[in-house]
Structure 1
Amino acid sequence: MADFADVSTLSFEKALAELETIVGKLEGGNVPLEESITLYARGEALKARCDALLKDAEARVEKITLGADGRPAGTVPLDGE
């Protein structure tokens, strides 16, 4: 199982797909204990990567504000409502 890609280089989609595969294997219950531990640790790293990428994306999402004339006047964070 040492052929795992570096988690920090994975896109959200690739990390999520790998995480889903790991969850499927672990839920199947047919994985030896040592491999289960390795898969679980990898899953935790993938979950953290997905969380970080989602938080980064959320921080970049902005809402365009309109001025009195209806033209874009700037942006504010999406949570700034």
Structure 2
Amino acid sequence: MDEAAPNLTELTFEDALRQLEAVVKQLESGDVPLDESIDLYERGEALRKHCQARLDAAQARIQKIVTDASGKPVRTEEFGSDG
């Protein structure tokens, strides 16, 4: 399994998500021996954490543009703020 498992830091979010989906399909098939299932589960958990970290980083970069009454942009705020 490890020969086809690139370093997580080299994966884009989309590639990691595709790999995670493949891991889930393999585990759900029930055709994988126990030891390989454990390895797949561990890989899946690492992929899930990588995807979550990428999503968290993207969310932190998103800013909301605040406009005045005329629609002119006046400032930006962090994503999710109510101001």
Give the whole-Å Cα distance in 2 for the aligned partners of 1:69 and 1:7.
Answer: 46
Give the whole-Å Cα distance in 1 for the aligned partners of 2:71 and 2:24.
Answer: 49
Q: Report the TM-score, using the length of structure 1 for normalisation.
A: 0.92
Give the whole-Å Cα distance in 2 for the aligned partners of 1:31 and 1:42.
Answer: 14
Q: Between Structure 1 and Structure 2, how many residues are aligned? A: 81
Structure 2 runs not aligned, ≥5 long: none
What SS is found at the alignment partner of 2:66? strand
Instruction: Tell me by how many angstroms 1:2 deviates.
Output: 1.8
What is the aligned-residue RMSD (CA, Å)?
Answer: 1.1
Give the whole-Å Cα distance in 2 for the aligned partners of 1:46 and 1:35.
Answer: 16
Over 2 Å off, 4+ runs: 67-70
- Identity of matched residues, %: 46
Instruction: Tell me by how many angstroms 1:68 deviates.
Output: 4.5
Partner of 1:25: 26
Structure 2: which amino acid aligns with 1:2?
D
Give the whole-Å Cα distance in 1 for the aligned partners of 2:49 and 2:2.
Answer: 19
Instruction: Tell me by how many angstroms 1:34 deviates.
Output: 1.1
Say whether 1:2 aligns with 2:5.
Answer: no
